[in-house]
Structure 1
Amino acid sequence: MKIKFSIFISLIVTSIAFSQVYPDQFYELKIDSLKNKIESLSGVKLSIDGKSFELEDNVLEGYIIIKEQTSQFPFNQGLPSYNGKVYDNKSGFKVLIRFPYGNGWSPWLTVGYWQTNIWNTYGSTSYSGGYVDVDYVKLSSYVSKWQFQIILTRTTLSSKSPSIHKVSFFISDSRTTSNVNVAQIVNDNPKEFFISTSFIYQYSVDPVIGKDICSPTTVSMILKSYNIQVDPYQFAVTTYDTYHKMFGVWPRVVQNAAEYGLDGAVTRYRTWSDARKVLDANGRIAMSLGSPLYPNGHLVMLAGFTNDGRVIVHDPAKSNGYSYIHDKTNLTQSWFAKGGISYTFYNPNNVTSVKNKSERYLENSFELFQNYPNPFSARGGSAFGGNPTTTISYYLTSPNSVQLKIYDVLGNEISTLVEEFQEAGIYKINFDGSDLSSGIYIYRLTVGKNSLIKKMMLLK
């Protein structure tokens, strides 16, 4: 009889443990904690200012392995992200992760890279215990530990070293999303709040890629809400992932914002009130939506709430998307039933005031003009004269070092037209595109430490 009773109690305890849904957890290692949690490293050093890790001098590649991290609760899903800096398309970093498996560890899984894919192989993304779904870790069982590895690479010593100063991991129990109570969340009505920005309609950014760039367009609006100067088109093409062939890989968009000074991570929210707290702390949120509003996926900027609890967003998919109010039930279903996945940003270094000064300086010190003709073409007898040459003009108000470069839409350097010290004045530079294929190209003028970018179109 005692044995039967013991078995009955054991079954009850097992049932309770199995039904427990583990809470969300967020773990981030910024540079101060990151440098104290290194298990091993090679070819990598702390930067002189102590704010990031970078390659040692005369080293092309190095790595850091971070000591295993342990979560308070088990998880079976995770959202990795990272913040660092890359200076050209001949350098970059790659982030990998692994989990307990069998009597040891799983293989290292690649969770992302920045900026250009300069490696011979992308690396593994799956093993029998789980996989990385582009940017989303999905495991077949619950674990409580993980490790990060960061590989920093440059293909030439003349390239400035890439650097990294933060890795993040937002972990969850998949059952939290499965059990979401939409009606309860709809009745959550935070206090009135609103964040303004310069609105960007994604389809107006570019006729070719406009339909695919909701994610970088939304983050461009977030940057503009902090008064940070950004070219939405250039931000989008820089974000493009050439391996996955996507503009919206979550950690890449977060990383691109880090290049502009923001502290960011891929996160989740489970209630509107939780999101409201971030806005109140001068944070920004980009919401990843699904059905019923956007079955194929979409990103919008959370702008705030009305005095009666309705949700305000800046929706780049709509020409009238500034301060747009969707049906709250549909919006709640579209965000929270998809998992409440988001980008969360803060502006810790007062980038706003710095950028305002920079913008005034740019306006007064030099100007970059639209190339002419544009489009330009090698088609004989066409309206563009059948000439694959176009003229790029710019104006300097004072002597300075000048660099003018051409890039393709993926950020690959095509040509350097100018790289010298120039006196004040108006300059006109001819660019011959006869060896190039049809498409959109970027030209960047750098004067001193500041740059301006415009795009041009070649037709053949």
Structure 2
Amino acid sequence: MVFPSARRTPSRLAVVLLIAAPLAAAAPLATAARPAATAPLAAAQVAAPAAITSSAGTSHASPAVVVQRAGAVTPRVQTTRWSSNAELATGLRNGSLISNGSLQFAARPMGSASLRDPYGSGRSVRYDYARWTSPWVAPGFDATNLIASWNARVPAGTYLRIDARTKSATAASSWDTLAVWGFTVESIHRYSGEAQTDDLNKLNTDTLVSQGTSRMRQWQLRVTLMRRSGTTATPRLDSIGAVAANFTTRTAATSPTSMRATSERAVPKFSQMIHTGHYPQWDAGGEAWCSPTSTAMVLRYYGRGPSPEHYAWTGERDGQVDHAARYTYDHNYQGTGNWPFNTAYAGQYSTDAFVTRLLNLRDAERFIRAGIPVVVSIAFARGGLDGSPLTSTPGHLVVITGFAADGRVIVNDPSAATNAGVRRVYRRDQFERAWLGGSGGVAYVIRPPGRALPGDSPRW
């Protein structure tokens, strides 16, 4: 059995945007640590990337992938986040204010514009907008890729747009749209940006990847808050950040375990396969729902997630899985495996959730000791993971729930046929190879308030 990829190339018609300018045209690049104010939105535009014609996205098996091999340049990862009044105050605000640790609309927005949802009715709707722009961030190495993630509360009629730009040693990129994100379709049909291959970088669904020999010396994020004009609702941005790295996949010698005894977290067990064929409009049904199923397991571990009345519409056993698939679905990518869309979903339920890259399983062991199971992205060829329900997979998400004393990895694998078969114990060498070689150590970190991260690290 070859498992459907959680990171596949969508097949869809091009979406032609009915505009002649981007949603938020940027002013010339500022050279100071803080950006110059950007130009206002044009009057009649679309809540979409700054391309006139959208084209099919690309899978993570991209020519731009940079493989980090043993003996090559030292692997580097740097995560930077803004999640408090003081941290958010370091950014430039236009029509927005900071209150109680969240960014929201000020009394007077930055402006308004007529916008349309490219996956909705097609009609234009008037929106007010406000903005926050981060300081420039220098990770301290030449990064090849950047993954942004955020937590926000977005009531009906509101949404966010996330943009990024970078500087190389000699040039600065344009702003690239990473995501247009809302929780319900009453706000927006959430979607990732297009490839946007016009200059230094390209977007690979949720990962901004440098092109050619260009490298990211600095990076910057911009968040645009949107709400329907004439309303007082406001999205509240609780955190925003990104992880930069100088690899997207890599090979390395198997890490020695730091465990002295078996440690396992009692994470509930959900099989995606019992949802096979459910709601095929969201990534063909449960057989492709490894990411939202894994996210749902971790939320339930903390006693979080939607209440039964909020997924009663599914009429299904473990309906929270169907709920997670519905509200993580990326209408551009046409899948539920968008990494930051999953952490943004988790953030709806009073958790701090973000995407990062971990260097190896020793990092994951630190999280398990801290009481934080992690969702990780793996890939392997036939015979690459003994005991897996899958023969092979180009992309799959599982939950690391613990470690045996000898370093073997205890996992909740949603590809099992039943809930009872979800718990698996995998060889350390095979699992680490599948994780680092499949995604470069991508992990979802999801934790409730009061659950401390495992000490200081540039990776979290």
TM-score range, shorter-chain basis?
0.5 to 0.7
Q: Aligned in 2, Cα 1:119/1:80: closer, same or farther, shift over 3 Å?
A: closer
CA contact (8 A) 1:22 1:75 kept: no
Secondary structure at the counterpart of residue 423 of structure 2: coil
Alignment partners' CA distance in 1, 2:422 and 2:72: 43
Equivalence for 1:42: 94
- Which structure dedicates a bigger proportion of its chain to helix? 1
Secondary structure at the counterpart of residue 267 of structure 1: strand
Secondary structure at the counterpart of residue 149 of structure 1: strand
Secondary structure at the counterpart of residue 287 of structure 2: helix
Equivalence for 2:393: 295
Rg larger in 1 or in 2? 1
Alignment partners' CA distance in 2, 1:321 and 1:73: 43
Equivalence for 2:135: 67
Output aligned runs, 1:316-327, within 5 Å: 316-318=414-416, 319=418, 320-327=420-427
Alignment partners' CA distance in 1, 2:343 and 2:190: 21
Structure 1: 5+ residue stretches without partners:
1-17, 351-460
Alignment partners' CA distance in 1, 2:83 and 2:155: 20
The alpha-carbon deviation at position 64 of structure 1 amounts to 1.3
The alpha-carbon deviation at position 127 of structure 1 amounts to 2.8
Alignment partners' CA distance in 1, 2:192 and 2:209: 22
The alpha-carbon deviation at position 123 of structure 1 amounts to 6.8
Equivalence for 1:369: none
Amino acid at match of 1:43: G
The alpha-carbon deviation at position 45 of structure 1 amounts to 1.9
Equivalence for 1:222: 298
Equivalence for 2:348: 259
Secondary structure at the counterpart of residue 139 of structure 2: strand
Q: Taking every aligned residue pair, what percent have the same amino acid on both sides?
A: 21
Alignment partners' CA distance in 2, 1:203 and 1:295: 15
Is residue 346 of structure 1 aligned with residue 415 of structure 2?
Answer: no
Equivalence for 2:80: 27
Aligned length: 325
CA contact (8 A) 2:356 2:445 kept: yes
Alignment partners' CA distance in 1, 2:132 and 2:374: 30
CA contact (8 A) 1:189 1:272 kept: no
Amino acid at match of 1:199: K
Secondary structure at the counterpart of residue 346 of structure 2: helix
After the TM superposition, which of the residue ranges 21-30 and 75-84 deviates more from structure 2? 21-30
Q: Aligned in 2, Cα 1:21/1:102: closer, same or farther, shift over 3 Å?
A: closer
Secondary structure at the counterpart of residue 426 of structure 2: coil
Q: Deviations over 1:9-47 (max 9, x none)?
A: xxxxxxxxx9643522121111234332123x3221223
Alignment partners' CA distance in 2, 1:260 and 1:206: 26
1:52 aligns with one of 91, 94, 102: 102
Is residue 193 of structure 1 aligned with residue 263 of structure 2?
Answer: yes
Amino acid at match of 1:82: W
Q: Deviations over 1:258-302 (max 9, x none)?
A: 000111111112221111111212223001011135422111110
CA contact (8 A) 1:78 1:171 kept: yes
Output aligned runs, 1:277-316, within 5 Å: 277-292=366-381, 293=385, 294-316=392-414
After the TM superposition, which of the residue ranges 321-330 and 283-292 deviates more from structure 2? 321-330
Amino acid at match of 2:257: D
After the TM superposition, which of the residue ranges 305-314 and 328-337 deviates more from structure 2? 328-337
The alpha-carbon deviation at position 250 of structure 1 amounts to 0.5
Equivalence for 2:210: 139
The alpha-carbon deviation at position 119 of structure 1 amounts to 9.2
Equivalence for 1:272: 361
Is residue 232 of structure 1 aligned with residue 285 of structure 2?
Answer: no
Equivalence for 2:272: 202
Larger relative contact order (CA 8 Å, sep ≥ 6): 2
Secondary structure at the counterpart of residue 323 of structure 2: helix
Equivalence for 1:165: 238
Alignment partners' CA distance in 2, 1:19 and 1:188: 23
After the TM superposition, which of the residue ranges 153-162 and 247-256 deviates more from structure 2? 153-162
CA contact (8 A) 1:111 1:125 kept: no
The alpha-carbon deviation at position 218 of structure 1 amounts to 0.3
Q: Aligned in 2, Cα 1:100/1:170: closer, same or farther, shift over 3 Å?
A: same
Secondary structure at the counterpart of residue 143 of structure 1: coil
CA contact (8 A) 1:22 1:74 kept: no
Amino acid at match of 2:143: F
Cα RMSD for the two superposed structures = 2.6
CA contact (8 A) 2:168 2:217 kept: no
2:435 aligns with one of 335, 348, 359: 335
Alignment partners' CA distance in 1, 2:301 and 2:361: 20
Secondary structure at the counterpart of residue 174 of structure 2: coil
Alignment partners' CA distance in 1, 2:353 and 2:232: 26
Alignment partners' CA distance in 1, 2:90 and 2:273: 44
Q: Deviations over 1:114-151 (max 9, x none)?
A: 22546999577333322110011211322221111101
Output aligned runs, 1:433-444, within 5 Å: none
Alignment partners' CA distance in 1, 2:378 and 2:175: 30
**TM-score normalised to structure 1 length:** 0.65
Q: Aligned in 2, Cα 1:121/1:171: closer, same or farther, shift over 3 Å?
A: closer
Alignment partners' CA distance in 1, 2:276 and 2:95: 41
2:162 aligns with one of 71, 74, 95: 95
